[in-house]
């Protein structure tokens, strides 16, 4: 009886280890995609504020020069 229990535990450890490896790969891929999306959003936000600031400065210059 003990041999069957030990064999079942070892088999389930190998099964979980295999699933865990695939899950780790999936998590890594998911985190990479999130990282890229975050980078892209940050870049777009930075460009938005840069462009908005340029517009404000130009508008102020035009308003004060007239």
Q: Mind listing the pLDDT tens digit for each residue in 18-55?
A: 666 777 788 778 889 988 999 999 999 999 999 999 99
Which pTM does this prediction carry?
0.48
pLDDT band at 57 (very low <50, low <70, confident <90, very high): very high
Model pLDDT, residue 6: 86
Alpha-carbon distance of 29 to 39, in angstroms, equals 15
Model pLDDT, residue 18: 67
Q: For residue 57, what are the CA distances in angstroms to 13, 49, 62, 65?
A: 64, 12, 9, 12
Alpha-carbon distance of 10 to 28, in angstroms, equals 27
């Amino acid at each position: 009886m003990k041999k069957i229990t030990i064999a079942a535990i070892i088999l389930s450890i190998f099964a979980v280890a295999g699933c865990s490896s695939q899950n780790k790969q999936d998590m890594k891929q998911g985190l990479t995609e999130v990282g890229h999306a975050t980078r892209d959003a940050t870049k777009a936000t930075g460009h938005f504020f840069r462009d908005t600031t340029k517009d404000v400065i130009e508008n102020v210059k035009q308003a004060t020069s007239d």
